[in-house]
Amino acid sequence: MISEMNFFERIIYILQSYGMSYLAGAGTTLAIAIVATIIGCLIGFAAGVVQTIPLNLDRDSKVKVFLIKAVQTFLHMYVELFRGTPMIVQAVFIYYGLAQIWGIQLGMWQAAFLVVSVNTGAYMAESVRGGIISVDPGQMEGAKSIGMNHVQSMMNVILPQAFRNILPQIGNNLIINIKDTSVLSVISIVDLFFVHKSVSGALYTYFESASIVMLIYLTMTVSVSRLLRLFEKYLDGSDNYELANHMDIGNQMNKKRL
């Protein structure tokens, strides 16, 4: 009987009976966290880009200025709303609220992805805006000076640099999301934390189950942060460069030696 086992025997027993459930829960957690972080980043980039559109009151038409200002105000409110309230409340609010007020019955999965994405988007919007602003203004002037319009300058010059600058924050958000999806158990998402609650509820093994779950969360977050480090290194390229050789340069090199 489980009450007669020691700590390790209990862990082994739990893993033998529920190991697959923990893994499935971890898979769900990871899937929601990764997908929602990606969608959140897309929202964040879109919002950050709109919030940094330069307005030229002399040249731009009044309609354009008004529209952009309206969207910017809306985005500002969105950011404040989702940064300023707990995700656990947002989950309940959206899942039950949409159904009750507008009659939209979201599946719990849709609600889960929606809540985490929109929440991440609010944080990323601010990060992206900051990332764009912190790129040296000279980069934008360089882009303009060769005739790029605003969109081309953003796509080719500013956003790649902003992306690199905020990559650590994207990683941070991913890690936060891996942990915070645990609140989705309020709308019955069977994630890692939900499995823990079920198992420990059934066996009264709170400490043992928590130990297992802690270890799984930690494994996921540490792996993610390692992978992101590698990705950063990859993006930065090597520290040195190769001098181009004859083949690349053509016959010019015959004249010069380097």
Partner 1 sequence: MTPILELSHLEKSFGNHVILRDINFKVNAKDVISVIGASGSGKSTMLRCINLLEIPSGGEILFHGNPILDRKNDIPDYRTKVGMVFQNFNLFSNMSVLENCMVGQIKVLKRSKEEAKIKAMHFLEKVEMEPFINAKPRQLSGGQKQRVAIARALSMEPELLLFDEPTSALDPLMVGEVLSVMKTLAREGLTMIVVTHEMSFARDVSNYVVYMDDGYIIEEGSPDKLFNNPNQEKTKKFLATILS
Collect all residues with Cβ–Cβ distance below 8 Å to 189 and sequence separation of at least 6: 28, 32, 108, 109, 112, 181
Residues 222-251 that bind partner 1 (CB under 8 A): 237, 240-244, 248-250
SS3 annotation, 178-241: HHHHHHHHHHCCCCHHHHHHHHHHHHCCHHHHHHHHHHHHHHHHHHHHHHHHHHHHHHHCCCCC
CB 133 to partner 1: min, Å: 16
CB 38 to partner 1: min, Å: 21
The verdict on 63 binding partner 1 (CB under 8 A) reads no
The verdict on 68 binding partner 1 (CB under 8 A) reads no
The residue (of 103 and 147) whose beta carbon lies closer to partner 1 is 147
The verdict on 86 binding partner 1 (CB under 8 A) reads no
Q: Which two tokens stand for residue 58?
A: 């002399």
> Number of residues in contact with partner 1, rule: CB under 8 A?
34
Residue type at position 230: L
The residue (of 105 and 152) whose beta carbon lies closer to partner 1 is 152
Residue 147, CA distances (Å) to 10, 112, 187, 217, 227 in order: 69, 44, 52, 49, 38
Residue type at position 44: G
The residue (of 164 and 197) whose beta carbon lies closer to partner 1 is 164
Residues 108-167 that bind partner 1 (CB under 8 A): 136, 138-139, 141-149, 152, 156-157, 160-161, 164
CB 231 to partner 1: min, Å: 15
Q: Which two tokens stand for residue 76?
A: 């500002």
In the complex, which residues of this chain contact partner 1 (CB under 8 A)? 56, 58-59, 136, 138-139, 141-149, 152, 156-157, 160-161, 164, 237, 240-244, 248-250, 252-253, 256, 258
